[in-house]
Amino acid sequence: MILFLSCIAFRNNLCLSSIPSTLKSLPLDGHFTFDEVHFAAKDFGNRYQFLPAAILHPKSVSDIANTIKHIWQMGSHSELTVAARGHGHALQGQSQAHRGVVISMESLQGPEMQVYTGNSPYVDVSGGELWINILHESLKYGLTPKSWTDYLHLTVGGTLSNAGVSGQAFQHGPQISNVNQLEVVTGKGDVVTCSEKHNSDLFHSVLGGLGQFGIITRARISLEPAPDMVKWIRVLYSDFATFARDQEHLISLGRTFDYIEGFVIINRTGLLNNWRSSFNPQDPIQASHFKSDGRTLFCLELAKYFNQDKSDVVHQEIEHMLSQLGYITSTLFLSEVTYVEFLDRVHVSEVKLRSKGLWEVPHPWLNLFIPRSKINNFADEVFGNILTETSNGPVLIYPVNKSKWDNRTSAITPEEDTFYLVAFLTSAVPSSTGTDGLEHILTQNKRILEYCEKAHLGVKQYLPHYTTQEEWQAHFGPRWEIFVQRKSAYDPLAVLAPGQRIFKKAIPFS
Ligand X SMILES: Cc1cc2nc3c(=O)[nH]c(=O)nc-3n(C[C@H](O)[C@H](O)[C@H](O)COP(=O)(O)OP(=O)(O)OC[C@H]3O[C@@H](n4cnc5c(N)ncnc54)[C@H](O)[C@@H]3O)c2cc1C
Nearest to 423 by CA among 167, 172, 170, 96: 167
Q: CA-to-CA distance for 463 and 149, rounded, in angstroms?
A: 13
Closest distance of CB 87 from ligand X, Å: 4
Of all residues in the shown chain, the one whose CB is closest to ligand X is: 157
Polymer length in residues for the chain: 510
What is the nearest approach in angstroms of ligand X to the Cβ of residue 406? 16
Q: Are residues 100 and 81 in contact, defined by beta-carbon separation less than 8 angstroms?
A: yes
Given 50, 499, 503, 507, the residue binding ligand X (CB under 6 A): 499
Least distance from C-beta 217 to ligand X, angstroms?
Answer: 7
331/499 with CB nearer ligand X: 499
Distance CA 56, CA 102 (A): 6
CB of 102 to ligand X, least distance (A): 9
Contacts of 258 (CB under 8 A, 6+ apart): 168, 171, 230, 303, 304, 305
Give the CA count within 13 Å in the CB-facing half-sphere of 297: 23
Out of 63, 106, 150, 344, the active site residue is 150
Nearest to ligand X of 79, 344 (CB atom) = 344
Which is closer to ligand X, CB of 143 or CB of 154? 154
d(C-alpha 339, C-alpha 139), whole Å:
10
Give the other-Cβ count within 10 Å of 443's Cβ: 11
Give the shortest CB-358-to-ligand X separation in angstroms.
13
The whole-angstrom separation of Cα 64 and Cα 66 is 6
Q: Which is nearer to ligand X, 246 or 491 (CB)?
A: 491
Decide if 215 contacts 191 (C-beta within 8 A).
no
Between 66 and 331, name the residue whose CB sits nearer to ligand X. 66
- Give the number of other Cβ atoms within 10 Å of residue 49's Cβ: 13
The catalytic residue among 43, 183, 248, 261 is 261
By CB under 6 A, the residues from 188 to 247 that bind ligand X are: 210-211, 215-216
C-alpha to C-alpha distance for 5 and 426, rounded to whole angstroms: 34
The one catalytic residue among 57, 79, 87, 89: 89
| Ranges within 344-373 binding ligand X (CB under 6 A) | 346
Is residue 23 within 8 A of residue 70, CB to CB? The reply is yes
391 binds ligand X (CB under 6 A): no
- Cβ 154 to ligand X shortest distance, Å: 4
Beta bridge partners of 125: 219
Known catalytic residue at 89 = yes
Closest separation between CB of residue 301 and ligand X, Å? Answer: 13
**Closest of 129, 133, 131, 109 to residue 57, by C-alpha:** 109
Residues 136-195 binding ligand X (CB under 6 A) are: 149-151, 154-155, 157-159, 161-166
| CB of 159 vs ligand X, minimal distance in Å | 4
Strand partners, 348: none
Q: How far apart are CA 132 and CA 50, in angstroms?
A: 28
Touching ligand X, residues 112-131 (CB under 6 A): 127
Helix (H) or strand (E) holding 143: strand 143-145
The 27-66 contact track toward ligand X, x by CB under 6 A, reads ----------------xx----------------------
Element (H, E) at 216: strand 214-225
Side chain identity at residue 197, one-letter code? K
Looking only at the bridges linking them, the beta strands covering 82-85 and 143-145 are unpaired
Residues 60-99 that bind ligand X (CB under 6 A): 83-90, 94-95
Residue 261 designated active-site = yes
Class of residue 425 by CB neighbours under 10 A (exposed 0-12, middle 13-18, buried 19+): buried
Residue 90 or 370: the one with the smaller Cβ distance to ligand X is: 90
Q: Which is nearer to ligand X, 382 or 497 (CB)?
A: 497
Q: Would you say 149 or 222 has its CB closer to ligand X?
A: 149
| Active-site residue set | 89, 150, 261
Q: Which residues bind ligand X (CB under 6 A)?
A: 43-44, 83-90, 94-95, 105, 127, 149-151, 154-155, 157-159, 161-166, 210-211, 215-216, 346, 463, 497, 499-500
